[in-house]
Amino acid sequence: MSDYDAIVVGAGHNGLVSALYLARAGLSVLVLERNEKIGGAVQSGEITRPGFIHDLWSTNQNLFLASPVYKELKDDLERHGLKYANSSKPYCCLFPEGKSLHVYSDRQKTLDLLHQHNPKDAAGWSALFDHFQQFQKSLLPLYATPLPSPQVGVQLTKAIAAVGFRELVKLAQILASSTRQLGLEFFETRETRALISTWGMHLDFGPDVAGGAMFPFLETFSDMREGMNLAQGGAAKMPAALAGLAQEYGAEIRTQAAVTKIIEENGKAIAVQLANGDRITARRAIIANLTPDVLFHRLLQDAPIPKEVHRDIEGYTYGPATMMVHLALKGKPNWKGSPETKDFAYVHIAPYVEDLAQTYNDSVNGILPASPLLIVGQTSVVDPTRTPSPDEHILWVQVRTLPPEIKGDAKNEIQARNWDEAKEPFSDRVLQKLEDYAPGIKKQILDMRVFSPADLERHNPNLVGGDSIGGSHHLRQNFLFRPFPNYSNYKMPLDRLYMVGAGTWPGAGTNGTSGYLCAQEIINTDGLMKKLVGGVAIGAAVATGVAVKKMSEQRHDQEDRS
């Protein structure tokens, strides 16, 4: 077949979601993936030793569980092999001298431990959690609402009715805060302030970035309530299930099929050209599950893009880089302090806000940080199927944040100025930091695999410079401005051309929202579905926030009343 109704370029999970829903609506769909495996940044494999199944890049899939995709298709996805392992001990922070703070799905237990640490911090935690509950009632549905859309105004009106204007203003202030400001307002100690700020560094929110509190505010409490969820058997189970269901509806998926050009004619995207010279026509849509750099600089070099849009494209910025360190261990790490740390899904090692600020500033200035944030995922603790035996374990270590291009080293120890040469000495620095907090861990290592920022981009060109989040999430490039002004609704400057993925609203993470909303936009535009009042896409998007809220309220209603 040489032509299709829709072609999806890139088999990341958002591209697969689009393909699934378009095929389900009756369109002929072709997905083209340059790599041997589908999944984009959601992949897993035996990269150290046989039987040790590591999540290569992304691991936590809480956002996908809260998505309309999973809510609607849960049974079908399970039929295709997608099941989840949940940890009721979602995350903790470690500090020097064996100090630690642990957050449990048991809200009261978390609060009691915080009270032991510092009564004022416990009071601040309760106050901030109360605001989070109001956020769920009012603004959370906006997270998955198409931008722009009439539903935004409708939802804001509902928000005022739900929580009142005064509370809505306070929530807006919280979301506009930096993580340092939020910590200073609600907490007294350095340790509890770090609980918030470490989440900001998962994206590109250094402690002093305005608006950086939005994602940490959401993660801090939603992960407390829902625990941490990993796909049983590996992160790749999620895209594999999406692909299997899409194929069940008739979609075709080709791997090792690199697209070299999107062909334009009279202002319309009409076809793609493959590396082998094949040309394939798209009658209704071409959906690029790509970042702007790959889409416009590599596949649309000759396309007639308006000058003002071209300027926005050139101005799209990427965040600091990431290194991944994967460890196969004999036994669990012997963390200093509380023995319970061994059982937590995420272990954050910053240690303090000041350290995060220094790391972030060094990264954006091209300097290798002296002590980067380590986001340590104890994968096999959450999902024991990942290793051959119970006394063998996996550590997933995401190193944040790093410079894409190296200009210097904060410790003046590493002379290398490219990542191929700096990878080994810098991973030694990471291991030493782990050793400082988990004495003896170096001797526990059975095998390891390191991916530098350069390796990340080689694997997936969307990870520009090793940026694992698909572009900066600062306010000037978020919400209505993602990926750039006037193009936040997935439609690109060429007719029939769409873009989904981390570079579009609502950004990074395994939420699947952009793929879902883009598919609904195409379906509705083509008249393939009966439009409901307000639009199917809008209603479905609001359902994401409602689903998260209902799930949390049902599970914790009795606890919250107490």
pLDDT tens digits for range 48-87: 999 999 999 999 999 999 999 999 999 999 999 999 999 9
pTM exceeds 0.75 for this model: yes
518/499 Cα distance (integer angstroms)? 8
Residue 552's pLDDT band (cuts 50, 70, 90): very low
Q: What is the pLDDT of residue 528?
A: 53
- Retrieve residue 391's tokens: 């006394």
Would you tell me how many other CB atoms lie within 10 Å of the CB of residue 447?
12
Model pLDDT for residues 470-489, shown as the tens digit of each residue? 999 999 999 999 999 999 99
Contact yes or no for 396/234 (Cβ under 8 A)? no
345/167 Cα distance (integer angstroms)? 33
Rounded to the nearest integer, the mean pLDDT of the chain is 92
| Cα 222–chain centre separation | 15
Is CATH 1.10.287 the right assignment for the domain spanning 87-231+319-459? no
**CATH classification number, 3-85+233-317+462-556, choose in 3.50.50.60, 1.10.3720.10, 1.10.10.10, 2.130.10.10:** 3.50.50.60
User: Which residue matches tokens 């894409």?
Assistant: 404
Residue 141's pLDDT band (cuts 50, 70, 90): confident
Q: pLDDT exceeding 90 applies to what percent of the chain?
A: 85
Q: What is the pLDDT of residue 527?
A: 57
Is the pLDDT reported for residue 227 higher than 60?
yes
Residue 139's pLDDT band (cuts 50, 70, 90): confident
517/119 Cα distance (integer angstroms)? 44
Q: What is the pLDDT of residue 557?
A: 47
Q: What is the pLDDT of residue 1?
A: 55
Q: What is the pLDDT of residue 65?
A: 95
Q: What is the pLDDT of residue 482?
A: 95
Is the pLDDT reported for residue 409 higher than 70?
yes
Q: What is the pLDDT of residue 199?
A: 97
Model pLDDT for residues 167-226, shown as the tens digit of each residue? 989 999 999 999 999 999 999 999 999 999 999 999 999 999 999 999 999 999 999 999
85/394 Cα distance (integer angstroms)? 15
Q: What is the pLDDT of residue 537?
A: 40
449/556 Cα distance (integer angstroms)? 40
29/40 Cα distance (integer angstroms)? 19
Model pLDDT for residues 296-316, shown as the tens digit of each residue? 999 998 888 888 898 999 999
Model pLDDT for residues 423-433, shown as the tens digit of each residue? 999 999 999 99
Residue scoring higher pLDDT (307 or 495): 495
Mean pLDDT (whole number) for 253-278: 96
DSSP 154-189: HHHHHHHHHH-HHHHHHHHHHHHS-HHHHHHHH-SS
What b-and-e string marks burial along 161-196, b requiring 16 or more CB atoms within 10 Å of the CB?
eebeeebbeebeebbebbbbbbbeebbbbbbbbbbb
Matching fold, domains 3-85+233-317+462-556 and 87-231+319-459: no
Model pLDDT for residues 354-371, shown as the tens digit of each residue? 999 999 999 999 999 999
Is the pLDDT reported for residue 504 higher than 60?
yes
Residue 462's pLDDT band (cuts 50, 70, 90): very high
Boundaries of every domain in the chain: 3-85+233-317+462-556, 87-231+319-459
3-state helix, strand, coil in the chain (%, to 5): 45, 20, 35
Least confident of 89-93, 132-136, 226-230: 132-136
Is the pLDDT reported for residue 241 higher than 90?
yes
Which of these, 29, 515, 32, lies nearest to 273 by C-alpha position?
32
β-bridge mates for residue 39, sequence order:
12
